[in-house]
């Protein structure tokens, strides 16, 4: 930028404006400026260089930022592609998406068997293994202890069907976890299919009645109901509550193409046999007691205790559908007949209790088998749930354990607690035990007849496996029956 001295400014007034222009416009060069001054040439160059460096620095930062964003975008797309890529069978899978498997693990365990059968049992819960032919008045709720094996459940299901109890009752299996229900689902389906095959075999064989074992035989007559009229057929074959309702048209096989009154009267009075059996469904305790209500009172809640927290919800949902309810241990109980014959003529509030073996004497109440009216059993389950909580809180102070049999015996002995239901003592008061192997080995003997007099018995202590093997052999000894079972 050029400078103008004061002397020149005074002498030459004509150049005053030019000097001012030189001050305000440093890029203008006049004759009065000193072209040889170093400041006039170096200052614009420095400014231009500084601006050029700033522009290059900003451009470099912008390019770096854009490159990083593009790199992150490609990296995200690459990782997303890897997470959704499923390798073909010819290459080993490096990653099996463990994060997705972890999130779905609980749902897979809870619904594995349900996806297989693709049917819920009741109101979006449970699994429907076998849908009955009509609604039933009796409900058998069988819980599986945590130590129950596949052989235990197979024997229970096989005897349950063969005894004829399922001809008048629905069956609910209560599992101690979702994984337990998934593990036993295939076995339950297999026994149900074997039962249906057994019915078909006996229906097609006219000599089946001659092959019935006096103790462990199968009687088709228990599952065949005679229909004498159209009215009875339509009224008695109401839909079961389990699963989705199906609209099945009622077919009268005795109808004739003739429209005469004589033929119509003959059709109404004729009799036809119809197969009837109950449903088989399953629930796990997490569905009926999702909060594990007893966990706040004891460290470990076995299913023998937790089942009492499940019964109020289950029995409450079906309170208008059943007249009689039975609670039974699926591991130790063996069905020989229909236990509901003991309670059908009693009031809905009645509950039948059995005594538990204690050496040679009967002492505590047996919690493995309980039968009663639907109203009485529902009230018993609620009272038992409350009694377990009360007894557990008391035992915490004494630092002793609580047993199911002791709590139930204390409940039955409490006059104030049993006022909501009627206590009935069985005759005989003790459930028979199949503790003698000789009783099971003998065919058509007095010992076998004594067992047959009972509709339900229990395994003795210490010989459960031997009894199971002997019963299975007796069942498979019938050539007709052995043809439908895989384990014969």
* pLDDT one-digit tens code per residue, 433-446: 776 545 555 544 45
Q: DSSP H helical segments within 249-373, as ranges?
A: 261-269, 285-288, 303-317
Q: DSSP H helical segments within 84-177, as ranges?
A: 98-117, 150-163
- With 0-12 / 13-18 / 19 or more C-beta atoms within 10 angstroms meaning exposed / middle / buried, residue 62 is exposed
HSE-CB at 263 with a 13 A cutoff on CA atoms is 7
Which pLDDT does position 315 carry in this prediction?
96
Sign of CA dihedral 22, 27, 31, 36: positive
CA distance 291 to 103: 20
Mean pLDDT throughout 201-219? 75
pLDDT digits (tens, 9 = 90+) for 265-283: 444 434 467 899 999 999 9
Domains and CATH numbers, the chain: 6-66 (no CATH), 106-239+268-482 (3.90.550.10)
Q: Is 211 or 305 the better-scoring residue by pLDDT?
A: 305
- Contact (Cβ atoms closer than 8 angstroms) between residue 173 and residue 113: no
Q: DSSP H helical segments within 220-357, as ranges?
A: 230-236, 261-269, 285-288, 303-317
Cβ neighbours of residue 1 under 8 Å, at least 6 residues apart? 22, 23, 26, 39, 40, 43
- Going from the C-alpha of 157 to that of each of 218, 250, 469, the distances in angstroms are 13, 30, 15
SS3 call for 363: strand
Give the bridge partners for 138, in sequence order: 169, 324
- Phi-psi region at 421: left, alpha or beta (left = phi > 0; alpha = psi -120 to 50): beta
Q: Which residue has 């299975």 as its token pair?
A: 472
CA dihedral 240, 241, 245, 247 (to 10 degrees): 30
Which pLDDT does position 64 carry in this prediction?
84
- Contact (Cβ atoms closer than 8 angstroms) between residue 408 and residue 343: no
Which pLDDT does position 167 carry in this prediction?
95
SS3 call for 356: strand
Phi, psi angles (nearest 5°) of residue 210: -80, -15
Mean pLDDT throughout 102-127? 62
SS3 call for 246: coil
Q: Is the pLDDT of residue 20 over 90?
A: no
pLDDT digits (tens, 9 = 90+) for 41-83: 456 666 666 677 777 778 888 888 888 888 888 888 877 776 6
pLDDT digits (tens, 9 = 90+) for 23-41: 444 444 444 444 444 444 4
């Amino acid at each position: 930028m050029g400078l103008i001295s004061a002397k020149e400014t005074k002498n030459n007034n004509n150049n005053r404006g030019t000097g001012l222009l030189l001050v305000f416009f440093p890029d203008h060069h006049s004759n009065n400026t000193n072209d040889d001054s170093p400041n006039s040439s170096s200052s614009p160059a420095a400014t231009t260089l500084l601006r050029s460096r700033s522009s290059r620095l900003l451009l470099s930062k912008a390019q770096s930022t854009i490159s990083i964003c593009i790199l992150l975008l490609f990296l995200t797309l690459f990782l997303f592609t890897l997470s959704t890529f499923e390798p073909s069978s010819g290459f080993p899978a490096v990653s099996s998406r463990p994060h997705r498997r972890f999130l779905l693990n609980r749902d897979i365990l809870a619904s594995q068997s349900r996806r297989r059968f693709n049917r819920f049992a009741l109101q979006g819960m449970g699994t429907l293994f076998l849908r009955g032919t009509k609604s039933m008045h009796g409900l058998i709720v069988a819980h599986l202890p945590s130590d129950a094996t596949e052989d235990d459940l197979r024997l229970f299901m096989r005897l349950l069907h063969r005894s004829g109890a399922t001809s008048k009752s629905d069956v609910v299996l209560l599992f101690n976890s979702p994984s337990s229900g998934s593990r036993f689902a295939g076995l339950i389906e297999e026994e149900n299919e074997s039962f249906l095959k057994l019915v078909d075999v006996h229906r097609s064989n006219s000599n089946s009645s001659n092959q019935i074992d006096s103790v462990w035989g199968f009687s088709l007559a228990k599952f065949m109901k005679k229909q004498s009229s159209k009215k009875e057929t339509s009224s008695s074959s109401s839909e079961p509550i389990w699963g989705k309702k199906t609209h099945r048209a009622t077919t009268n096989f005795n109808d004739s193409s003739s429209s005469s009154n004589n033929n119509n009267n003959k059709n109404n009075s004729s009799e036809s046999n119809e197969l009837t059996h109950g449903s088989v469904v399953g629930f796990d305790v997490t569905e009926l007691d999702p909060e594990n209500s007893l966990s706040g009172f004891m460290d470990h809640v076995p299913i023998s205790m937790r089942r009492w927290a499940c019964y109020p919800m289950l029995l409450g949902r079906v309170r208008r559908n059943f007249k009689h309810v039975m609670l039974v241990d699926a591991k130790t109980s063996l069905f020989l007949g229909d236990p509901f014959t003991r309670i059908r003529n009693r009031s809905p509030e009645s509950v039948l209790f059995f005594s538990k073996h204690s050496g040679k004497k009967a002492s505590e109440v047996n919690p493995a088998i309980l039968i009663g009216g639907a109203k009485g059993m529902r009230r018993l389950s609620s009272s038992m749930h409350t009694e377990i909580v009360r007894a557990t809180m008391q035992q915490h102070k004494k630092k002793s354990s609580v047993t199911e049999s002791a709590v139930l015996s204390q409940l039955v002995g409490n006059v104030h607690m049993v006022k909501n239901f009627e206590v009935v003592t069985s005759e005989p008061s003790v459930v028979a035990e199949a503790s003698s192997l000789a009783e099971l080995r003998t065919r058509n003997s007095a010992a076998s007849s004594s067992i047959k007099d009972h509709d339900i018995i229990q395994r003795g202590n210490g010989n459960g496996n031997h009894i199971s093997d002997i019963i299975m052999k007796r069942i498979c000894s019938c050539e007709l029956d052995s043809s439908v079972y895989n384990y014969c």
